């Protein structure tokens, strides 16, 4: 197994990420994802649309106060799907890339961040389609679409932070993946994807507020479902908090990466 100074290992002195390498990995991931079927991107929308249909059929009458319930649900499904799928894929990214890192001086952070970027591109395409339909149907103002793009920044930063941390930890402790998948399953029900946050009892409200996805999902719902401008001060706070989390995660990942050569 090569050491830190081996010809194929990038070492801790390597940059966290290179744009050229990120572009190559993202393009490859998207090409693989969309070439598996004749419908390409349209086929990749089938699963969230089926989830929307099932959740609407089951819960639309339970929550009659939610107007345009299918739109309410699909925004939540898209956002949560991006978050959970990215973390699951990121946890395997370094282990899967071990043969590459032994041969090529590739920064380890490149692989989990490429997973984040590829899934973020897919989320952008999905939400762009939803925003277009909303604008045509008249419940989304075109000027709110740029606001929705801004609201994706803290979501992307926070997801990237967790992706870096979990991918690094999984190098040393493979079982972390199974624990994290269980937490993600619980997180889906603890996030108002299919129900309004207003139904949560007051005694549990403080607990709900500790869920970061509540704050990251809300501005996207405001813009793409409610047709109103999100609270810009709250959006600024979430962006700042996500940026701090991303910086802290990058520093932790860099420290962990000094020992990757012992396990990959």
Of all residues in the chain, the percent with pLDDT exceeding 90 is 48
Query: What does the domain layout of the chain look like in residue ranges?
Result: 19-262
Each residue's pLDDT tens digit, 161-211 = 999 999 999 999 988 989 999 999 999 999 999 999 888 888 787 888 899
- 13 — pLDDT class (breaks 50, 70, 90): very low
Shortest CA distance to 176 belongs to which of 80, 244, 76, 256? Answer: 256
Give this prediction's pTM.
Answer: 0.87
Phi, psi of 163 (to 5 degrees): -60, -40
Give CA–CA dist 1/208, Å, rounded.
46
pLDDT digits (tens, 9 = 90+) for 117-135: 999 988 998 888 888 878 8
Contact 217, 192 (CB under 8 A): yes
* Average pLDDT of the chain to the nearest whole number: 85
SS3 assignment, position 18: coil
């Amino acid at each position: 197994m090569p050491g830190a100074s081996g010809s194929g290992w990038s070492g801790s002195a390597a940059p966290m990420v290179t744009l050229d390498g990120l572009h190559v990995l993202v393009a490859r991931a998207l090409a693989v994802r969309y070439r598996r079927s004749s419908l390409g991107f349209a086929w990749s929308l089938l699963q969230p649309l089926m989830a929307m249909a099932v959740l609407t059929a089951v819960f639309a009458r339970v929550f009659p106060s939610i107007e345009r319930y299918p739109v309410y649900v699909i925004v939540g499904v898209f956002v949560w799907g991006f978050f959970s799928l990215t973390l699951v894929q990121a946890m395997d990214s370094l282990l899967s890339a071990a043969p590459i890192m032994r041969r090529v001086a590739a920064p380890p952070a490149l692989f989990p961040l490429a997973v984040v970027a590829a899934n973020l591109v897919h989320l952008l395409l999905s939400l762009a389609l939803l925003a277009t339909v909303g604008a045509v149907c008249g419940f989304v103002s075109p000027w709110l679409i740029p606001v929705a793009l801004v609201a994706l920044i803290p979501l992307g930063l926070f997801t990237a932070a967790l992706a870096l941390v979990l991918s690094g930890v999984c190098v040393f402790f493979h079982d972390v993946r199974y624990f994290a998948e269980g937490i993600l399953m619980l997180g889906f029900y603890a996030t108002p994807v299919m129900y309004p946050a207003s139904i949560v009892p007051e005694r549990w409200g403080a607990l709900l507020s500790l869920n970061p996805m509540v704050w990251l999902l809300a501005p996207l719902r405001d813009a793409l479902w409610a047709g109103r401008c999100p609270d810009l001060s709250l959006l600024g706070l979430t962006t700042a908090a996500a940026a701090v989390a991303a910086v802290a995660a990058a520093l932790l990942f860099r420290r962990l990466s000094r020992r990757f050569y012992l396990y990959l």
